[in-house]
Chains A and B, each alone.
Chain A
Amino acid sequence: MKRWLKGAHRLRVTLWTLIVPPTTWAVHFLFSYLWVAISCERIGRWALFPTAFAIGTVVALIVILASGVIAWQQSRTPGDPPPHNEGTDIDRLRFLAYSTMLLAGLSFVAVIFTAMPVLMLGDCR
């Protein structure tokens, strides 16, 4: 595990990796919406494949969690002195990683928010 976490430092970080967690939220959200629309409007009854929804939610949470953990590791890359807002390679990496970690937190909460109604409501009314 420790070695794996250390390996996270070597992964490439770009503007694209920054948006992995919120994009995961967006995909999960879109599929939740389509899943309900097709179940309720097209088929006319509640919840086709509820297990698929549960699995999809868990997968989304795992993706977000993983990118959050990687980002957390990278945001602690040692090297330059604090407060880490200089124009160096390490500080730029730490900034992008830290922002990714924060976005992972927000996305994690948002996915749970999206999943909550499925737990609370049980039909198409």
Chain B
Amino acid sequence: MSLHAQDDPQLRAEQEERLRAVWKPPSGLFLRWTDTNNNRVGVWYTLTAFGFMLFAGVLALIMRTQLAVPDNDLVSANTFNQLFTLHGSMMMFLFAVPMFEAVSIILLPQLLGARDLPFPRLSAFGYWSFLIGGVFVGGSIFFNAAPDGGWFMYPPLTTRTDLSGLGADIWMLGLSFIEVSSVAAAVELIVGVLKCRPPGMRLNLMPLYAWYILVVAVMILFAFPPLIAGDLLFEMERLLNWPFFDAARGGDPLLWQHLFWIFGHPEVYIVFLPSIALFAMMIPTFAQRHLLGYPWIVLAAVGTAFLSFGLWVHHMFATGLPKISLAFFSAASEAVAIPTGVQIFAFIATLWAGKVKWSTPLLYASGSLAVFVIGGLTGVMVAVAPFDWQAHDTYFVVAHLHYVLIGGTLLPLFGGLYYYWPLITGKKLSDRLGRIAFWIMFVGINLTFFPMHLSGLEGMPRRVFTYPEELGIGWLNLASTAGSYMFAAGVAVLVVDLMLSPTRAKSSRNPWNAGTLEWLAHPDDEDWGIRSVPLVESRYPIWDQKNFVAKVDEGRFFLPDAEEGRRETIITSVLDAKPVSVIRLGTPSVKPMMTAVALGSVFILTTYHLYLIAALGGVVTLGCILWWLWDTAEIPEKPEKPIGHGMRLPLYISGPAAPGWWAMFITMMADATAFSGLVFGYYFYWTIHPDFGAGFDGPGSGGPLTALALSLASWAATLIAREVHHRGSVNAARGLLVAGAVTAIASLFAGIGCLDGLDPEANVYPAIVWVLVVWTVVHAAVAVIMQLYTLARSIAGRMTPTHDADIRNITVYMHFFALTAIVTYLTIGLFPETGL
């Protein structure tokens, strides 16, 4: 297909017909919900997260009404506890993080000129998990069963079943389920940014939004798993009475605080960076010039990501840790102001150097910067430990965090809403209503939260359901309440603006005259994403490359056709975006939704202690996953296909060039991080107890070392199987896979054997040994499933020596399994008996 061929309008029409047929969304009352195309799933995701935001906002309004006057009795103390816990938890877990994922799922393929992200069904699975978990957690308040221990759920209040009811389980299990969907989204987004860029879009030409998303998705991989580890320990204590946080039996509630905040502080940046990323797209458009200081922004994103993992203890300044430890975290907290400042200055400089077109999105952007900077400044104040001791757990902190989150997440998202609405719907929102909404909100926000600094300094603690008149903070609280209603009125104007959108006419294409790829979208958009995948030579191709839009539209770039009737996109190399292969994408299917329902049932039934049915749900989930996987990594009908301009690309790749391999690697990074959270727990207890074993017998060394040897044998068998399979010895590889599975099963029993005589309810030492071993043997069980699955693929003819993605992917798993076994068995077997 040369350039010449695309001159023929007849051919172009035929190509479009084929593309349209391939990307046709499913229709029908139920089937339409089985869609996996990023443009639909992303919109459902966004609307759901927006709905949860409005719901959590209403909860806040009820709280503010209760606090309007001293000694008020609108709601009871118990209801108030549920209100603030659910408000915080929903805003973080059901709005801020999912919203970033949702927006990225919509925007990223457009920005990268890809037809879709590499795993569309995974996005759909993430969405359904999010919806089920979100409704479960949010709906609990209607049954007076919502969590009531604060959004960080500190034990022992929350782990003692006589002090906190079902709400704590709903929080732990419901939100763990949502964390699964976040990790799924992170996998999707990382592989999307690294492997699905259009040809020519080298790392230095990548839109800054993609840089931010890459950084944030990597942060999710390292931030969420420690919380999953914490959740695991937490539920073990609540459901099985294992004393991880019970000081009487050697546990320590501070471990929860560590694990929670290792998640919780990076979390703040996980919700902040994607919003600031929206600025990085808007500001060049409205300054009508390239963004100044591109590498400086990359510095800011990467630097913030790293430093944000060195801040967690600044939430624990008042816990009595040694001052020197506090000082390390204080230092890192001050250092993070540097990259944060750099990006703000880069934005200001770009506006300064350009010809600014004043617009509604820019109004939101500049307003949010002002709000954010105030929050940032009080952040520098509370990062100083002695000041924090005074302000800790007062309304000063409430004021600080709301300034940061509203200025750093909410208002930029509203700005992004005004900016990107034409991209999604083809219609602009009303500039007039947008500005009215902005000013009402802006005044409302400051009126709500600024007085909180003062009420905090006057001594008003967080999370009290009322306060006495004598404290003299009645008028400050009344001002905050008035402000919150004003803020809500501003949001209501914005919602009205959105509701009026269907009545408005379509706007022109690229209405803001932006320069980046996502604005190729047409107001009457087709479902195929992009007509042809462009060759990118600039950071702002629409501005800089000649006839760019026309060439894309006329299919003059790559992959302008769908000859084989398959959904396809191009995979490129990580650094320089050289085309590597064409992959076939997942089509609409009921499988992701069913898997999410099955997995949801495991979490929800466990909450109600219905373990048997929950276990059944687990089996169904496994069945769904295998059923889903069976169609993946299919052997194509021909080895390669032309993509235009005389280029031919393979239709099958395996190993580190393939998206599937990366997905496995990234998932296992998250898995290893969760495991390191548990190992941290083991050494944490060792550090704080002079006598860690507390007189309880350990597992000895023999059992653990046997289990380790068997685990490593299983790993070696898989590794050798991969090599001999590659060399064509299929039968030898099958034999080795069987041997691998047998040794993995043996390691599983040897691991369980180590636990003989250890009572996990007696003391934290046997309990943490139990957890490490259970974690490892569960991984051994998964290894068995993977080896047998690969064997089945080989027997079914779905894996051959030249098409060996399955065995390459499970080998990645086995590397991580071996690492887990080494750390677990050496830790429990050789430590602390022979140690210090």
> Which residues from chain A sit less than 8 Å from chain B, CB to CB?
14-15, 18-19, 22-23, 25-26, 29, 32-33, 36-38, 40-42, 85-87, 89, 91-92, 94-96, 98-99, 102-103, 106-107, 109-110, 113-114, 116-118, 120-121, 124-125
Interface residues of B in 281-328 (CB under 8 A from A): 290, 294-296, 298-299, 302-303, 306-307, 309-310, 322-325, 327-328
Q: Is the CB of B538 within 8 A of A121?
A: no
Q: A36-B324, A96-B204 are in contact. Are A113 and B335 (CB under 8 A)?
A: yes
Q: List 23 A-B contacts (CB under 8 A).
A: A19-B302, A22-B306, A29-B328, A37-B325, A38-B687, A85-B205, A86-B537, A87-B205, A87-B537, A99-B302, A102-B296, A102-B298, A102-B299, A107-B303, A109-B338, A110-B332, A113-B332, A113-B334, A117-B324, A121-B323, A121-B324, A124-B322, A124-B323
Query: A41 to chain B: which residues have CB within 8 Å?
Result: 322, 687-688
Is the C-beta of B400 less than 8 angstroms from some C-beta in chain A? no
Q: Are A99 and B324 in contact (CB-based, < 8 A)?
A: no
What 0/1 pattern do residues 528 to 554 of B give for CB contact below 8 A with A?
000000001111000000000000000
A26 to chain B, nearest CB (A): 6
A124 to B575, CA, bound (A): 47
The answer on a CB contact under 8 Å between A36 and B290 is no
In the complex, residue of chain B having the shortest beta-carbon distance to the beta carbon of A122: B324
Q: Secondary structure at chain A's binding surface: helix, strand, loop or mixed?
A: helix
Interchain CB contact under 8 A, B204 and A92: yes
A18 touches B322 (CB 8 A): no
**A36/B328 in contact, CB under 8 A:** yes
The interface residues of chain B lying within 8 Å CB-to-CB of A92 are: 202-204, 575-576
Q: Which of B294, B299, B332 contacts A103 (CB 8 A)?
A: B299
Q: Using a CB–CB distance below 8 Å, which chain B residues touch chain A?
A: 200-205, 290, 294-296, 298-299, 302-303, 306-307, 309-310, 322-325, 327-328, 330-332, 334-335, 338-339, 536-539, 574-576, 686-688, 690, 836
Asked if A18 and B200 make an inter-chain contact with CB atoms under 8 angstroms apart, the answer reads no
**Chain B residues within an 8 Å CB radius of A116:** 327, 331
Q: A residues within 8 A CB of B323?
A: 121, 124-125
**Chain B residues whose C-beta falls within 8 Å of the C-beta of A87 in the assembled complex:** 200-202, 204-205, 536-538
Contacting pair B328 A95 (CB below 8 A): no
Q: Which of B295, B296, B331 meets A113, CB within 8 Å?
A: B331
Task: Please measure, in the bound complex, the distance between the C-alpha atom of A33 and the C-alpha atom of B326, giving whole angstroms.
Answer: 9
Which chain B positions have C-beta within 8 A of A86? 537-538
A117 and B538 contact, CB distance less than 8 A: no
Partner of B325, one of A15, A33, A95, A113: A33
- Taking CB atoms, residues of chain B closer than 8 Å to A99 are 295, 298-299, 302
CB distance from B333 to the nearest CB of A (A): 10
Bound-state CA distance A89–B307 (Å) is 30
Contact call A110/B307, Cβ cutoff below 8 A: yes
Are B306's CB and A26's CB within 8 A?
yes
Complex interface: chain B residues within 8 A of A94 (CB): 204
Which chain B residues border A85 with CB–CB below 8 Å?
A: 204-205, 290, 294, 538-539
CA distance A125 to B325 in the complex (A): 10
Please pick, from A18, A110, A118, A124, the residue contacting B302 in the complex, using a CB distance under 8 A: A18
Report the Cα distance A23→B539, complex, angstroms: 28
Minimum CB distance partner of A30 in chain B? B310
Which residues of chain B are within 8 angstroms of A19 by Cβ–Cβ distance?
302, 306
CA distance A64 to B339 in the complex (A): 17
| Cα-based distance from A36 to B326 in the complex (angstroms) | 10
The answer on a CB contact under 8 Å between A42 and B332 is no
Report which of B306, B324, B574 forms a contact with A40, defined as CB distance below 8 A.
B324
Measured between beta carbons, the chain B residues less than 8 angstroms from A22 are: 302-303, 306-307
Pairwise interchain contact B204-A91, C-beta atoms closer than 8 A: yes
Whether A118 lies near B332 (C-beta < 8 A) is no
A42 touches B687 (CB 8 A): yes
Residues of B within 8 A of A118 (CB): 324
Name the residue of chain A whose CB is nearest to the CB of B326.
A117
> Do A109 and B310 contact each other (CB < 8 Å), given the known contacts A85-B290, A95-B204?
no
Cross-chain contact A95 with B575 (CB below 8 angstroms) = no
CA distance A33 to B328 in the complex (A): 7
Chain B residues lying within 8 Å of A98, measured Cβ to Cβ, are 295
Q: How far apart sit A22 and B331, CA to CA, in the bound complex (Å)?
A: 15
State whether B332 touches A114 (Cβ < 8 A).
yes
User: In the complex, what's the smallest C-beta–C-beta distance from B350 to chain A, in angstroms?
Assistant: 14
Chain B residues in 8 Å Cβ range of A89: 576
CA gap between A14 and B190 in the complex, in Å? 16
**Distance of A110 Cα from B537 Cα, bound (Å):** 36
* Min distance, Cβ B790 to any Cβ of chain A, angstroms: 29
Instruction: Name which residue of chain B comes closest to A23, CB basis.
Output: B306
What CA separation (Å) do A121 and B327 show in the bound complex?
9
| Closest Cβ–Cβ distance, residue B541 to chain A (whole Å) | 10
A19 to B219, CA, bound (A): 13
Give Cα A120 to B688, complex, Å: 25
Q: How many Å lie between the Cα of A97 and that of B549 in the bound state?
A: 32
Chain B residues with CB under 8 A of A33: 325, 328
The interface residues of chain B lying within 8 Å CB-to-CB of A110 are 307, 310, 331-332, 335
Q: How far is the CA of A124 from the CA of B539 in the complex (A)?
A: 52
Neighbouring B residues of A113 by C-beta, 8 Å = 331-332, 334-335
